Amino acid sequence: MRNPSIAGLLPPLLFLLAVPGTAQHWNQVNPDGFGNPTNLGVVLAEYNGELFGATLGIFGSEVRRYTGSSWVFEQSFGLSNPSVFDPTVFQGELYLGTFNQVTGCEVWRRDAAGNYARIDPGAPGPGGFGDTTNIEVSGMGVLNNVLYVGTQHVVVGPTDVCVGAEVWSFHPLAPVPWQQVPVPWGATTCEADGFVEHLGKLFVGVTDETVGCEVWSFDGAVWTQEHAAGFGDGAAQTDARGMAVCGGDLYVGTENSATGCEVWRYDGAPFAWTRVADQGFGLGPAANEEVLALTCFGGSLFAGTEGAASVWRYDGGTSWTKVAPDGFGDGNNAIIGSLVEHAGQLHAGTFNQSPPGNGCEVWRHEVHPYGCASPEESLVILGGTPTQTQTLTFGVDDPSGGASSPSTAFLAVALGPDPNFPCGTVLGSLGELLISVLPPNPVFVLASGTPWTAPGTPVTVDVPVPLDPTLVSLSIYLQGALVGTKIRLTQGFRVVIV
């Protein structure tokens, strides 16, 4: 693999006055609605190293593939299939399930050559696994080389009636590939979501608007209920769609229309859970009613919400940091429906109302703070983007006041993180070393001519990004230090050049 030089990133520094800053650096990477405002929402999936987006569209769901600079149209599922949920990779192929309240949900498969085929048992006729009231494939997951599919099972009418979420298994080489899996939950359940493997079992969130959401695990033969309905909040907590494993732990995000969404951590045994976020991340249901998207990225858990359409990073305990402006600055973005890692970067897909919106959006997060024992906001982005010919302005600070005044500010740039990434190596009172200082990773150290004097007065450093195609998708790792009679290390940043 090539090992490009980063010397070109480090011309002589310009020293600027500090300006109000943010660590929220996202760029939109699609045209609104992919050029069509009737494409209201998009869910994302990575498959074979490429990013795919499936739309929720008034005139039918469409699938596009991202080349890194543009989106290539691949497939339309027709007017009666307006949306796709939870695309899943199984045995080297991409599976997509649709919403269809006319003839029932459908399951489609894309192979590595780009060919699409409908493969649910009703194909090419009515879907819904033989029951048109199975109107949506609400979740998919894999356990022991078997694909499991959950449905939204609803009789549609003036008042929709839930009639019991179903689960189906798919064994491609079996004489009868599709089999219904008996489930223990009741007829008041609406849909089965989540479908995340953890500890050798498949965890499934079940929506129940009567008694509250449930979480069940399945080992391939036996179902086990893992918590009381509604996590103790009853019918107010109706949905447990968002699920992810991060740091060896399972996390579940809920919908709570009364007090706001919650996030719970599974502690390894039935009914043993710890709540790590509640009341809509402290903002209530109007801002954050539901966690629809959970993902683990760079060793941290990220959550995307419905309401204000915000993205949050979990910092441990019950602490969360908002890492994107609500709706990415667009008030018509009402939902973050998916969070997916692709090419080392976090991508978010939105639901954008139309009218008056312009259609769904895909955003890419290009600057990622990290560290486990470093002061928050000790290294901040004050401006710019990691885009060729643009400039990133960093601020080096010690909000805790532990550094000596005056101190000289340094900024180190490396091609690799500390081996303990996303944590680092603790060096006693100096703090946490977060970049690799060992060969073959070169380290460039930049010194500021402006002394640091007090908390809240970051010393600024510019890092211009040159025009060099070999730098595209390169990750660099940065860490600051304040050196006086004491030495204090800052948190780190991982930056992906685009």
Residue 2 within a domain: no
Residue 1 within a domain: no
- pLDDT at residue 438 greater than cutoff 60: yes
Q: Are 365 and 70 in contact (CB under 8 A)?
A: no
* Same domain as 322, residue 205: yes
Residue 294 within a domain: yes
Return the structure tokens found at 98: 């649709």
Task: List Cα–Cα distances, 34 to 71, 96, 360, 398, 440, in angstroms.
Answer: 8, 19, 7, 43, 42
* Same domain as 243, residue 201: yes
- pLDDT at residue 22 greater than cutoff 90: no
The stretch 384-413 carries a mean pLDDT of 88
Give residue-wise pLDDT tens across range 325-365: 999 999 999 999 999 998 878 999 999 986 678 999 999 98
Residue 118 within a domain: yes
* Same domain as 388, residue 336: no
Which of 349, 365, 381 lies at the terminal end of a domain, its last residue? 365
Give residue-wise pLDDT tens across range 120-155: 999 999 999 999 999 999 999 999 999 999 999 999
Return the structure tokens found at 340: 């997916």
* Same domain as 214, residue 354: yes
71 vs 18 pLDDT, higher one: 71
> What does the DSSP 8-state code read for residue 441?
S
Q: Are 57 and 83 in contact (CB under 8 A)?
A: yes
Instruction: Express as a percent the part of the chain with pLDDT over 70.
Output: 95
Domain count, the chain: 2
Q: What is the pLDDT of residue 354?
A: 65
| Mean pLDDT across the chain | 90
Q: Are 16 and 396 in contact (CB under 8 A)?
A: no
- pLDDT at residue 98 greater than cutoff 60: yes
Q: What is the pLDDT of residue 336?
A: 97
* Same domain as 436, residue 312: no
The stretch 160-172 carries a mean pLDDT of 97
* Same domain as 131, residue 77: yes
Kindly report the CATH number assigned to the domain that includes residue 232: 2.130.10.10
Residue 391 within a domain: yes
Residue 78 within a domain: yes
Q: What is the pLDDT of residue 96?
A: 98
Residue 344 within a domain: yes
Q: What is the pLDDT of residue 366?
A: 77
Give residue-wise pLDDT tens across range 231-261: 988 899 999 999 999 999 999 999 998 999 9
Give residue-wise pLDDT tens across range 293-327: 999 987 889 999 999 999 999 989 999 989 889 99
29 vs 17 pLDDT, higher one: 29
3-state per-residue secondary structure call for 25-62:
CEEECCCHHHHCCCEEEEEEEEECCEEEEEEEECCCCE
Which of 302, 333, 365 lies at the terminal end of a domain, its last residue? 365
Q: What is the pLDDT of residue 294?
A: 98
* Same domain as 129, residue 36: yes
* Same domain as 451, residue 358: no
* Same domain as 293, residue 257: yes
Instruction: Express as a percent the part of the chain with pLDDT over 90.
Output: 74
* Same domain as 201, residue 137: yes
Which has the minimum average pLDDT: 41-50, 247-256, 430-439?
Answer: 430-439
Which of 311, 331, 365 lies at the terminal end of a domain, its last residue? 365
Nearest to 54, CA basis, from 327, 341, 349, 339: 349
* Same domain as 378, residue 281: no
For 477-491, give the DSSP string: EEEEEEESSSEEEEE
* Same domain as 211, residue 87: yes
Taking the C-alpha atoms of residue 477 and residue 421, their distance in angstroms, rounded to an integer, is 11
Residue 486 within a domain: yes
This prediction's pTM: 0.80
- pLDDT at residue 27 greater than cutoff 90: no
| Residue range of the domain that includes 475 | 7-22+370-496
Return the structure tokens found at 344: 């080392």
- pLDDT at residue 20 greater than cutoff 70: no
